[in-house]
Amino acid sequence: MPVCNGALIRRTRCHLVALVFACVGILAFAAEAISGAKIETPYGESQIEMELHQVPDAPVYYVIGRPGVPGADNEGLSSNAGFVVTEKGVVVYDALGTPALGYRLLMKIREVTDKPVEIVVAGHYHADHVYGLQAFEEHTDATIWAQQAALQYLSSPGAERRLEQRREALFPWVDESTRLVAPDKTYTDRTVLDMGDTQIELLHIGPAHAPDDTIMIVHRYNVVFSGDLIFGGRLPFLGGENVDTRRWLDGLAYLQSLEPSPRFIIPGHGDADENPQASIRFTRNYIEFLRRQMGQAVDNLVPFAEAYGSTDWSDYEDVPTFDAANRGNAYEVYLGMEKELFD
């Protein structure tokens, strides 16, 4: 009786899956060329356009989410994600906000390469970045990596509350079959993934936007996936009980200090940038401005509403997300500055 070789079976399975996805990817590419075309996924139909971009002169690709909060108008596509094609396979950073979007990202990968997806990095465990992990868990043999603080979120009541909220806000793309996917491997401060022709470094920058904030540096091409440390062309979102603007500024300072300086940054939200220092500087200046204005108000016992109304916001009021984000950001910083008085 012949003996089955597990490794051979796994490789054969991966080749067959890659072939299927290559065919599906070609069909999907043609479908997306038709305005409003519906794309079938194992998680239901998806209609929102998802355009794949490439970093100049590098096998690094990314998709850009829409402005605004996740909802029916954007199908939950409010964040960015991307991937790197390496000698040893594909490394993905973030998986988007629904299983259908994660599957479509996988289809985008298959438009570029038939190499296996070896690793998926969760930049941080917020819903708009990780619900797509389900597609990668169910349709690839990838290892999912995250910073170890992600495990605390997964076991928290907030994780289940957010899932219930998204089942309402993003139905049918998030429904009763949607589930949270835990990482297979975690790291503490830093880890390096040897992908043959390039090393990919994961660094813990949190708690800043989230406790488990991870940036990913693709060293050979000098490209950084910054996660939500940077919102390209938008005001960052500073809400949430775990936001730490002091550590956020430390993380931005670290990005500014990198040698060689990054030539390209793919942020967690907003446009990617060939002038990374400008994006870093904008976000840093905004957070420093909020801390300075709200900190002075706290020191002088000025109520928040009065402090907000008397602040000159002219440097930021034309930024697209100002109306949606700025007041909430200022209030969160005000509360944070109050808390720091007792630290």
109-136 pLDDT, tens digit per residue, is 999 999 999 999 999 999 999 999 999 9
- Its pTM stands at 0.88
Does residue 207 have a cis peptide bond before it, meaning omega lies within 30 degrees of 0?
Answer: yes
Q: For residue 298, what are the contacts with CB-CB under 8 A and spacing of at least 6? A: 334, 337, 338, 341
Q: Which pLDDT does position 5 carry in this prediction? A: 43
Q: Which residues contact 103 (CB under 8 A, 6 or more apart)?
A: 41, 42, 43, 132, 135, 139
C-alpha distances (whole Å) from 175 to each of 131, 133, 138, 172, 270 are 11, 15, 16, 6, 27
The confidence band for 54, taking pLDDT boundaries of 50, 70 and 90, is: very high
- Cβ atoms < 10 Å from Cβ of 227: 31
At residue 116, the 3 state secondary structure works out as: coil
- Residue 234's CB: how many other CB atoms inside 10 A? 21
The ranges assigned to domains in the chain are: 6-340
Q: What is the pLDDT of residues 6-45, one digit of tens each?
A: 444 444 444 544 444 544 444 444 445 444 688 999 999 9
Q: Dump the DSSP string for 222-253.
A: TEEEEEEEEEETS-----STT--HHHHHHHHH
CA 228 to each of CA 125, 179, 205: distance values in angstroms, whole numbers, following the listed order:
11, 22, 10
pLDDT of residue 36: 61
From first CA to last CA, the distance across the chain in angstroms is 70
**CATH number given to 6-340:** 3.60.15.10
Identify the pLDDT of residue 32.
52
- Token pair belonging to 137: 């868990």
Query: Residues 281-302: pLDDT tens digits?
Result: 999 999 999 999 999 999 999 9
Calculate mean pLDDT across residues 55-66.
97
Order the strands of the 190-194 sheet from edge to edge.
190-194, 199-204, 214-218, 223-232, 264-270
pLDDT, tens digit (0-9, with 9 covering 90-100), for 142-172 = 999 999 999 999 999 999 999 999 999 999 9
Nearest C-alpha neighbor of 41 from the set 164, 144, 172, 182: 172
